[in-house]
Each structure stands twice: as structure tokens, then as C-alpha cells.
Amino acid sequence: MGIPPYPRRALACGMQTGGEHDRGDSAPARIERAPERSRKTSWKEFLAQRWGLIVAADFFSVEVWTWKGLRRFLVLFFIDLATRQVEIAGISSAANGFWMSPVGRNATDAVAGMLFAKRYLIYDLDPLFTAEFQQLLASVGVKSVKLPPQSPNLNAYAERFVRTIKESCLERLVLFESDRCVQLCTNSHNII
């Protein structure tokens, strides 16, 4: 009665079931169950265990009217997940790997860097997070955690900051000159 229907039919037909196979002797061989696979930590558990050690990074763009016409600036920011403190790390119209190097050095500064005493930096797959930038982080003990593609929910606090600063500030203003953009971005994150 305790045997499920399929194995009962298999036994009735003389078929081997569940781990019995011919080893050349009369004792049936039992296949051991698969060992317990090491359970991977979920994203929610990862964040909960290391909450005070994680900083998230992301970019957003700002369009500014300059004397050369409409220009797009990229703004890099870091957000401490435990305190929700946001730091604008840099603003550039020509963001590239050369620009990211001094930004990374400033962020990992032992006195005033946003990543001081932090162990993890989570960010998306933006190509501006270059190998040199990642090596700079690793040299001070900060582990880079790249998020999978098309998963903004894994960097939800940074994405929410981008949405908030754009909706409450940047979409309501027409910015003239890059200095005003820098001033607005560095001061408005304290209000939000």
C-alpha cells in the first residue's frame, strides 16, 4: 500500500526500481541520494546580513542648455543603504574610464570617502565601471557586486533616488550652464 502506483506496476512486470541494478552479485545496490547542495543566499538575505556595509552606485543624466547647445551630463552618485545618505561623486559631459579613476580614488579615500569602512559596492552593468575602477575598489577591500542585466529591483534604493530627483527637481527646471547643474545636483539630494 505504501508503494506509489508506478513502482508497483514496475515490480509486477519484473523491472528494477529505485537504485537496484546488476552489480554481479545478488545484493541490490542502492544509489545514494544526492548530497545536500549548498544553498545559495538570496538577495534579500545578502542585504539583510550586510546592510551597514553596502553602498549602491548608479548614474543618471541631466540635460543642460550651454552656449554650445543642449548637452547631456552624466551624474554618478553613491547611496549608503543603511543611512540613505547620498553623495554625488561626479558630474561630467564626457564620462569615460579616465574620469572614473579620480572619482574612484575620491570615493575610497580613507578620510572622507563614501566607501571608507564599507565592504560592498553594488552597481549595474554600466561600462563606465571599468576594470581599473574595480581594481581600485578591490585594493581597499571593497568587493564589487555586479547586478544582472535588466534587474533594477536589485538596486531599488538607487533607482528610487534617480526617480525622485528627476520628478521633484530636474524635470521641472530648464538648466542653463553646467555650473548650475553641479550646484543643483549637489544641493538637492539633501532635500530629497
> Is the model more confident about 168 or about 9?
168
Read off the pLDDT of residues 97-130 as tens digits, 9 standing for 90 and up.
888 888 888 888 888 888 888 999 999 988 888 8
Domain ranges of the chain: 53-191
Do 81 and 154 touch, CB atoms closer than 8 A?
no
How many whole angstroms separate alpha carbon 186 and alpha carbon 63? 16
Domain 53-191 belongs to what architecture?
Answer: 2-Layer Sandwich (3.30)
- Residue 168: pLDDT band by 50, 70, 90 thresholds? confident
Alpha-helical (H) ranges within the chain are 5-12, 43-49, 97-107, 131-139, 156-168, 178-191
How many whole angstroms separate alpha carbon 2 and alpha carbon 51? 48
Ranked by mean pLDDT, the top range of 34-43, 83-92, 131-140 is: 131-140
How many whole angstroms separate alpha carbon 83 and alpha carbon 17? 58
Tell me if the pTM is above 0.75: no
pLDDT for 9 equals 57
Sign, CA dihedral 31-32-38-39, equals: positive
Read off the pLDDT of residues 12-38 as tens digits, 9 standing for 90 and up.
555 555 544 444 555 555 544 545 445
